[in-house]
Amino acid sequence: MNIPVVDLAAFTKGDDAAKQAFVQQLGIAYEQVGFVAVKNHGISDELIANLYSQVQDFFAMPTADKKKYEIAGLAGQRGYTSFGKEHAKGFDAPDLKEFFQFGQEVAAGEPEKELYPDNVVVTEIPEFTPSLLKAFRGFESAGAALLRAIALFLNLEENYFADHIHNGNSILRAIYYPPITEEPASAIRAEQHEDINLITLLVGASADGLEILNMQGEWIPVTSLPEQIVVNVGDMLQRLTNNRLKSTTHRVVNPPREKWATPRYSIPFFLHPKKEMSLACLPSCIDDTHPKAYEDYTAGEYLDERLREIGLK
């Protein structure tokens, strides 16, 4: 399945007609599918190639060296999380992955500075942290533009999300799915789930495997071109819009047997707001046909609940 493709430049650089067409195209895709592929997103191919190379270098390090960067008490929010620690909500079996997380960098003197732990610096790969930060800012910028379009689609003020995501609790995650060396207990590398956050931006992946669950209950492989990023709705945006925008169920499946020796790398960016943002359903998304579906939560309360459900807290 080729998911809908949108051109972000039409929104950021186009005239009013192009901008409005983009808003409608994006919003309808999120109502009907939950995923889009975005071109002209502003994140350079060179940066992504360098980052993937450094990610591979990190996960190739001996386990004992990687574990130096696994920090107790952070619920995996910074640094390394070893193989088999995380599982999907509602499933006991761990996902077949390990990962490294890089979070928000806040300038000294800003009120959020004390909210987030420091990022973990991998001393063996000095260029890793600068690449992560540059990619983080690129994803953050592209995500902010997409949220402006989403706000317009929802008949909100264009900058509705801007203050909520400034210094928000976003995460850039580098994931490693090791080669399969023996008959796996499951055909799934990462069990079916929905993302926690507002939107997720995913640039490339070193191997196929991502699938989404369509409206007919069928699992469909997701493909996008190298110059595109895949962006999906997360549960926070679904809650806020009272299910108008869909947080699509997705998973990562094992490769065919002849490709078991192939590892998989993936780098998603989870765009989160600040913890105090209300996720109470927007009044404009509630009517007699669509009664309010969720309790009022803040983003921080919801994140904490979900981290416990997936085994990181």
Pairing of strands 5-7, 35-39: parallel
pLDDT digit string, tens, across residues 61-116: 999 999 999 998 877 789 999 887 766 666 666 677 899 999 999 988 888 888 89
- Cα 252 to Cα 233: distance, rounded to the nearest angstrom: 17
74: left (phi over 0), alpha (psi -120 to 50) or beta: alpha
Q: Are residues 288 and 156 in contact, defined by beta-carbon separation less than 8 angstroms?
A: no
Two tokens at 234?
A: 């997360």
Please give the share of the chain, as a percent, with pLDDT higher than 70. Answer: 92
pLDDT digit string, tens, across residues 47-59: 999 999 999 999 9
Q: What is the pLDDT of residue 313?
A: 62
* 216 pLDDT higher than 90: no
Q: What is the pLDDT of residue 133?
A: 97
| 90-104, 222-236, 241-255: the lowest-pLDDT one | 90-104
- Cα 295 to Cα 124: distance, rounded to the nearest angstrom: 46
Q: What is the pLDDT of residue 57?
A: 97
pLDDT classification of 119: cutoffs 50, 70, 90: very high
Q: What is the pLDDT of residue 182?
A: 73
Which homologous superfamily does the CATH classification assign to the domain defined by 5-309?
Answer: B-lactam Antibiotic, Isopenicillin N Synthase; Chain (2.60.120.330)
Q: Are residues 172 and 119 in contact, defined by beta-carbon separation less than 8 angstroms?
A: no
**What value does the mean pLDDT take over residues 153-180?**
95
Q: What long-range pairs does 154-162 form, CB within 8 A, spacing at least 24?
A: 154/27, 154/241, 154/244, 154/282, 154/284, 154/285, 155/284, 156/282, 156/284, 161/198, 161/273
Neighbouring residues of 102: CB distance < 8 A, sequence distance ≥ 6: 78, 119, 120, 129, 132, 133, 136, 171, 172, 173, 174
* 275 pLDDT higher than 70: yes
Q: What is the pLDDT of residue 87?
A: 61
Q: What is the pLDDT of residue 108?
A: 86
**What value does the mean pLDDT take over residues 193-207?**
84
**What value does the mean pLDDT take over residues 205-217?**
78
Burial (CB count <10 Å: 0-12, 13-18, 19+), residue 97? buried
Q: What is the mean pLDDT of the chain?
A: 90
pLDDT digit string, tens, across residues 154-164: 999 999 999 99
Identify which of 293, 295, 209, 250 has the alpha carbon closest to the alpha carbon of residue 34. Answer: 250
Q: Are residues 208 and 219 in contact, defined by beta-carbon separation less than 8 angstroms?
A: no
Q: The pTM is what?
A: 0.91
Taking only Cα atoms into account, the Rg of the chain, rounded to an integer number of angstroms, comes to 19
**Where do the domains of the chain lie?**
5-309
Identify which of 257, 41, 52 has the alpha carbon closest to the alpha carbon of residue 175. Answer: 52
